[in-house]
Amino acid sequence: MTVLDAYTVIAYLRGGEAASGEVRELLRAPTILSAVNAAEVADQLVRIDDNDPDGVEIRLATLEVGGMTIAPATHSQAVAAGSLRALLQPTHVRGEPSRLFRCRHRA
């Protein structure tokens, strides 16, 4: 079984990205996507690509029917994923560079 990352699924669902063909091949066999990564897929497709949330839900459900399993995440896994996202989010906060920028430039 292949474990998929959120951006692998995003590339496939966007379709125009170079990796989408490779991902299509992976999806022919059983695959798994964590619920945290499924949330990232939904976030990117709705917030960044301006897709309808219901349409994104249908697209993910279609992948499930095709054999992809969305694995549940525990409370602690969800908090850890959200905390990591907050740490690595490449945005400015109150006019300051992101934490990731500061971490990279302190070394």
Find the mean pLDDT for residues 16-36: 87
Q: Which residues contact 49 (CB under 8 A, 6 or more apart)?
A: 14
Number of Cα atoms under 13 Å in the Cβ half of residue 8: 17
Give percent of the chain with pLDDT exceeding 90.
Answer: 47
pLDDT-based confidence at residue 73 (cuts at 50, 70, 90): confident
CB burial string 68-84: b at 16+ within 10 A, e below: bebeebeeeeeeebeee
Find the mean pLDDT for residues 46-72: 95
Q: Which residues contact 74 (CB under 8 A, 6 or more apart)?
A: none
Answer yes or no: is pLDDT of 42 > 80: yes
Find the mean pLDDT for residues 70-98: 70
pLDDT (0 to 100) of residue 88 = 65
Task: Please provide residue 69's backbone torsions phi and psi, each rounded to the nearest 5 degrees.
Answer: -100, 135
